[in-house]
Amino acid sequence: MLKEAWTLAIETLSWIEMRKLSERLALAKTVKQLGISDANAVRLAHMISLETIRRRNFIDAFINKTLKPQTINELNLGVQAFLRLYVYQTRIVKNWSQINLEEAENIAKIARSILGWKTLRKVEHVLGLLLTQNPQSVFKGISDEERIGLQTFHPTWFVKYCFKLFGRREAVAFLEGNMQSPPTYIRINTLKTKENEILEKIAQDNIKIEKVEGLKYAYKITGATQPLIRTTSFQEGLFYIQDKASCFAAEVANPKRDMTILDICAAPGAKTTYLAQLMQNRGAIYSIDYSRRRMNVWKNEVAYMGVKIAVPIIADACNPPPLKIEADLAILDPPCTSTGAFGKLPSSKWRLTRRSVDKMAEIQWQMLNSCAECVKPGGTLIYSTCSITVEENEMLIERFLKWHLEFSLAEIEPKMGLPGLRGLEKCRRLYPHMHQCNGFFIAKLIKES
């Protein structure tokens, strides 16, 4: 099992580096590629690869101190992945203090059998040094922003950005909040049966939950004896694994029965299925997404959750929809930098640059303009991201309101999170370190009657 887990983890990290895939997608691709079916091996591989990639900048700085004058990026991807995993397992898991030589030797043997002894021979000499090097050595002669970046596992450019946006004290609290994954939340699915019956079945599956205050159907997982996706209640479609912030966005939209709704960037289906639930499966939802692969997932999720009123449309949301729609409600959750979801998607930290924010904001601007045309007079437009940058959020809304005088900001209910920045107090923001969920922004815009 251990060899299978390490094989999966090494290959997963290699795919993340080579193709810029997310952790989950890279692992799924690797499991399929290698044909590994051992659930325990997959679980262990997911855990060690996720926690290793979360700390990648610190681990690389630590390894580079030992490799000098060589750097880890000069090695092939398999060796890079192994060294990162090796440091995580032999040092970080042990809190840098206890050294288990037997475990380290066993891991090295496993790596030789996976990568080949000739491949690993180039770095064999550093394995022992990595067990004894002081981790504090990475902090010598660096700036405050670099130090905070290494301590909280964030790129230096992002630390500087947060310092400027929030001030140093609040920025550090936010960055520290990103160091761990947020809690897992579920949304119970009343399209299948009554709420009290679902709660009974969830209890029978030994899932312990806690109601999220202010939201209708969201619950926090406080305990489970097995993976949620293996439980009977999940397999019967009685609940959907969905972040609290995402549930909040659907409830802010406040969809009603018999409405016509445009759901833009709809895949993989969390929004669509919740909107249909709140509409009691009455009305019409036109769900648009550019990715055929993601829309295939959407189709499965929609059918699985018992949604009957959603129509899939594969189209580029930067352009007007390929059909004439006058929507009572349009919801845009565009691609974003995911800077509010680094706790859940740590690999995204290392793909971004400062320029990524501006590039993404321009794509979001095109989408926002396109969907605004489809909102009928008196209708509502919801805009949300899991980013904390002002360029993708408040600045975009300010620009939109200047160009579209027929729209105005509306108060958001239910009241969760904090007011928006730059004086846009009707918008709302959620932060990982304060609200135990993904960082999130939401704006509600009303079109004049």
The catalytic site residues sit at 386
- Single-letter amino acid, residue 351: R
Could you give the 3-state DSSP secondary structure of residue 198?
A: helix
| Helices H / strands E in the chain, number of each | 20, 13
Tell me which DSSP letter residue 181 carries. P
Measure the CA–CA gap between 367 and 23, rounded to whole angstroms: 27
Contact 12, 30 (CB under 8 A): yes
Amino acid at 318: C
Collapsing DSSP to helix, strand or coil, 55 comes out as: coil
How far apart (Å, rounded) are the C-alpha atoms in residues 419 and 183? 23
Q: How far is it, in rounded angstroms, from Cα 321 to Cα 311?
A: 13
Tokens (6 digits) for 289: 């997404």
Cα–Cα distances (Å) from 149 to 23, 64, 91, 358, in that order, read 21, 16, 19, 21
* C-beta separation of 243 from 271 below 8 A: no
Could you give the angle at which helices 156-166 and 168-177 cross, rounded to 10 degrees? Answer: 130
DSSP state of 228: G
Angle separating helix axes 244-253 and 270-278, nearest 10 degrees: 50
- For the CA atoms of 215, 220, 226, 230, the dihedral, rounded to the nearest 10 degrees, stands at 20
Residue pair 20/351 in contact (Cβ under 8 Å)? The answer is yes
The strand pair at 407-409 and 440-447 is best described as antiparallel
Residue 304 phi/psi, 5-degree rounding, is: -60, -35
